[in-house]
Chains A and B, each alone.
Chain A
Amino acid sequence: MNDIILQAVHIDKSFREQPGIPILSDINVDIQKGEYVSLMGRSGCGKSTLLYILSTMDTDYKGELYIDNELMTGQKSNHLAEVRNEKIGFVFQFHYLLNEFTVLKNVMLPALKMARLPLLDIETKAMEWLNMLGIHQLAPKYPNQLSGGEKQRVAIARALINSPCIILADEPTGNLDKKNSDLIFDIFQQLSDNFGQTLLIVTHDPGFANRTKRIIQMEDGRIV
């Protein structure tokens, strides 16, 4: 039981405006520590909606959500923010880097927010991750000087900085060309193989999904 990182129990969601039509119905998901999971499905099947519920950002649902064995449902938004900061790393389709800060500062931000480590240690850690992702030379640059693939790698470094329990990614290669997509695949693969990182990737790309260890297939708001 203890190594379940993320657990969703009987999750239902429907639009507020149209209460009759369900988007998600009776979703039950367990993700074990170290698992590399992809969430597959056609667009509109509710896989992104599920991801945002699992990420604690969307709190408008029925059912129960546990992260690291802690009940998230019904928690205050400030507490959820802390949980996201500490336990979840995000990678989105778009990079969402802050143009006002250097690459290094962007990576450091979540750790600075958590404020558990002294500044120097955070910097060292950020540089380690950038190094591991092969982009340490970009550290002093600003995001608008980077290519799309580089930005996405910086976003991954940012997701990793607080050593999260799980990384949630929403179509992380959606905006990238083939070469860069492959690069991102490789990075996720490495994170899973070498670091035992738990990953949940939303994708509609079967090629990508096939490389993960477990595929959750969704259709019309249900898991099949």
Chain B
Amino acid sequence: MKLSADIARSLLMARWKQSLVAAIGVTFSITMFIGLLSFMTGLNKLLDGLILNRTAHVRLYNELQPNPVQPISMAPAYKNYYHFISSVKTIASDKRVEGIALKINTPVFFNEGSVQIAGSISGIDVQAENSLFHFNDYISQGSGNDLALIPNSIILGKPLAEKLVANIGDQVFITTTRGDIFPLKLVGYFATGIRDFDKVLGFTSIKTAQKLINKPSSYITDIQVKLFDINKAPLVAKEYSQLFNTHAEDIQAANAQFETGSFIRTLISYMVGITLLIVAGFGIYNILNMMIYEKMDAIAILKATGFSSTDVKTIFLMIALSIGTFGGLLGLLGGFLVSLLIDGVPFHAVSLPGISTYPVNYNPVFYGIGILFSLVTTFLAGWLPALKASKVDPVVIIRGK
């Protein structure tokens, strides 16, 4: 084995220029593969994050508290214990659930002088919203935490605030569905990246929202559930819907198009990477074929002096695999550098505060797949030439001289 490796190395070094070209082919394709995939999935993550991070994986949205039939009472064992809080505890103690955030959604009118702009206000639990749905990431000015600290405060979408001619610190007047006019203090702007949201939405704390609609402090409209595994959302939604006799919407049903988009983009990246690798594979195939024609004499004498067909095949497969390993490892490095490069390119989007360069996903899995691909491709590319070399009949070569 060691001897085969030694011979393989010598043959490789004897044609080091061609070998290098073949290796560079592999390097190039792996670089592109990793660069492309990192960038694509980075972009995917960013775009999906716009919606997915902000959206509950399962949303329970009956007005639970006023419902005459309490969810918990559906289970006979708890007939006399029903209280809304128990259902929250049930969800919170579910092992699949990362966390829950309570929410009140209510339609309101924002008053600009005599003009009323229809919109809605979400009363949120700032801490839970922040830890589960990255609320602070979307605050472009001010602080999300002020919602909880300053009573009767509101954060508006930047375009909405502009429409209302409201600066931070100003009072914003809203009209509730009951017709009451309420002054709220503007403590920040947010930008979700989806302008239609930003034009009609305001955030307050749950307490403020409860005051707006004149409900007791136990009233909420939504329970947002975040799961550890997003793919379990449809199952969990169905379960909760039956358990609590309420509407439960899963994220896949709500945002089906995102999954499809991500999938297609990832697929394209893989296709491009694999295509490049196949091209590199043909390069290696050519080099090895040439090498075999050149080294017919060497193969013949090796076989005459006692190297078996298997030995000869091993030698040529080793050549192919060392080209693959060398090119592949360089490609990993190249891919990382390209990722760094893309990561450094400035990228400013008005709707995306907190993003200043192109997003890149440094997922080690891509590097694993990259080196695996390069080895598999070079192995396959080396297989036929190696087989051919192993079948060289020394008698034909030696007698032909």
Report yes or no: A85 in contact with B305, Cβ–Cβ below 8 A.
Answer: yes
**How many Å lie between the Cα of A82 and that of B399 in the bound state?**
21
**How many Å lie between the Cα of A73 and that of B309 in the bound state?**
18
The residue from A90, A98, A112 contacting B304, defined by CB atoms under 8 A apart: A90
**How many Å lie between the Cα of A48 and that of B398 in the bound state?**
11
Report yes or no: B303 in contact with A81, Cβ–Cβ below 8 A.
Answer: yes
B395 at the binding interface (Cβ < 8 Å): yes
The residue from B3, B307, B401 contacting A92, defined by CB atoms under 8 A apart: B401
Q: Give a binary string over A85-96; 1 marks a CB under 8 Å from any B CB, 0 the rest.
A: 110001011101
Asked whether A57 and B401 contact (CB < 8 A) given A100-B13, A101-B10, A113-B3, the answer is no
B394 at the binding interface (Cβ < 8 Å): yes
B14 at the binding interface (Cβ < 8 Å): yes
Q: Give a binary string over B7-26; 1 marks a CB under 8 Å from any A CB, 0 the rest.
A: 00011011000000000000
B298 at the binding interface (Cβ < 8 Å): yes
A110 at the binding interface (Cβ < 8 Å): yes
A-B Cβ contacts below 8 A, count: 71
Kindly list chain A residues whose C-beta atoms are within 8 Å of the C-beta of B395. 52, 57-58
Query: Which B residue's beta carbon lies closest to that of A56?
Result: B304
Q: Give a binary string over A192-207; 1 marks a CB under 8 Å from any B CB, 0 the rest.
A: 0000000000000000
Kindly list chain B residues whose C-beta atoms are within 8 Å of the C-beta of A52. 395, 398-399
A115 at the binding interface (Cβ < 8 Å): yes
B194 at the binding interface (Cβ < 8 Å): no
**How many Å lie between the Cα of A113 and that of B305 in the bound state?**
9
Report yes or no: A94 in contact with B308, Cβ–Cβ below 8 A.
Answer: no
Report yes or no: A98 in contact with B309, Cβ–Cβ below 8 A.
Answer: no
A114 at the binding interface (Cβ < 8 Å): yes
**How many Å lie between the Cα of A114 and that of B311 in the bound state?**
12
A151 at the binding interface (Cβ < 8 Å): no
B216 at the binding interface (Cβ < 8 Å): no
Query: Which A residue's beta carbon lies closest to that of B400?
Result: A94
Report yes or no: A81 in contact with B301, Cβ–Cβ below 8 A.
Answer: no
Query: Which A residue's beta carbon lies closest to that of B309?
Result: A77
Report yes or no: A98 in contact with B303, Cβ–Cβ below 8 A.
Answer: no
Report yes or no: B306 in contact with A57, Cβ–Cβ below 8 A.
Answer: no
Report yes or no: B306 in contact with A110, Cβ–Cβ below 8 A.
Answer: yes
Report yes or no: A93 in contact with B401, Cβ–Cβ below 8 A.
Answer: yes
Instruction: Determine the interface band of chain A, counting residues with CB < 8 A from chain B.
Output: 20 to 34
**How many Å lie between the Cα of A159 and that of B301 in the bound state?**
11
Kindly list chain B residues whose C-beta atoms are within 8 Å of the C-beta of A153. none
B302 CB to nearest chain A CB (Å): 8
Instruction: Determine the interface band of chain B, counting residues with CB < 8 A from chain A.
Output: 20 to 34
Query: Which B residue's beta carbon lies closest to that of A99?
Result: B14
B5 CB to nearest chain A CB (Å): 12
Q: Give a binary string over A101-128; 1 marks a CB under 8 Å from any B CB, 0 the rest.
A: 1000000011011110000000000000
Asked whether A84 and B14 contact (CB < 8 A) given A92-B398, A113-B3, the answer is no
Report yes or no: A98 in contact with B305, Cβ–Cβ below 8 A.
Answer: no
B94 CB to nearest chain A CB (Å): 62
Kindly list chain A residues whose C-beta atoms are within 8 Å of the C-beta of B280. none
A78 at the binding interface (Cβ < 8 Å): yes
B7 CB to nearest chain A CB (Å): 8
B310 at the binding interface (Cβ < 8 Å): yes
Report yes or no: B3 in contact with A57, Cβ–Cβ below 8 A.
Answer: no
Query: Which B residue's beta carbon lies closest to that of A95?
Result: B301
Asked whether A113 and B306 contact (CB < 8 A) given A96-B297, A100-B10, the answer is yes
Asked whether A113 and B307 contact (CB < 8 A) given A92-B401, A98-B10, A100-B10, the answer is yes
Kindly list chain B residues whose C-beta atoms are within 8 Å of the C-beta of A115. 3
B64 at the binding interface (Cβ < 8 Å): no
Q: Give a binary string over B279-320; 1 marks a CB under 8 Å from any A CB, 0 the rest.
A: 000000000000000000110111111111111000000000
**How many Å lie between the Cα of A94 and that of B395 in the bound state?**
13
Report yes or no: A112 in contact with B3, Cβ–Cβ below 8 A.
Answer: yes
Report yes or no: A114 in contact with B306, Cβ–Cβ below 8 A.
Answer: yes
Report yes or no: B304 in contact with A57, Cβ–Cβ below 8 A.
Answer: yes
The residue from A77, A94, A110, A170 contacting B305, defined by CB atoms under 8 A apart: A110
Report yes or no: A94 in contact with B398, Cβ–Cβ below 8 A.
Answer: yes
Kindly list chain A residues whose C-beta atoms are within 8 Å of the C-beta of B309. 77-78, 81
Query: Which A residue's beta carbon lies closest to that of B312?
Result: A81
**How many Å lie between the Cα of A110 and that of B306 in the bound state?**
7
B292 CB to nearest chain A CB (Å): 14
Q: Give a binary string over A64-88; 1 marks a CB under 8 Å from any B CB, 0 the rest.
A: 0000000000000110011011100
Kindly list chain B residues whose C-beta atoms are within 8 Å of the C-beta of A114. 306
Kindly list chain B residues whose C-beta atoms are within 8 Å of the C-beta of A100. 10-11, 13-14, 298
Report yes or no: B401 in contact with A94, Cβ–Cβ below 8 A.
Answer: yes
Report yes or no: A77 in contact with B301, Cβ–Cβ below 8 A.
Answer: no
B291 CB to nearest chain A CB (Å): 11
Report yes or no: B306 in contact with A78, Cβ–Cβ below 8 A.
Answer: no
Kindly list the 7 A-B residue pairs having the minimum CB-CB distance in the complex, ordered from nearest: A85-B306, A96-B301, A100-B10, A81-B308, A78-B308, A110-B305, A94-B401
**What are 26 residue pairs bridging A and B, where the CB atoms are less than 8 Å apart in the complex?**
A48-B399, A57-B393, A57-B394, A77-B308, A77-B309, A78-B310, A81-B306, A81-B307, A82-B306, A82-B308, A84-B306, A85-B305, A85-B307, A90-B304, A90-B305, A92-B398, A93-B401, A94-B398, A99-B14, A100-B14, A109-B302, A112-B3, A113-B3, A114-B306, A115-B3, A158-B305
* Contacts A78-B309, A81-B307, A110-B305 known; 12 new A-B pairs at CB < 8 A: A52-B399, A77-B308, A81-B306, A81-B311, A82-B308, A84-B306, A90-B305, A94-B297, A96-B300, A96-B398, A113-B305, A170-B398
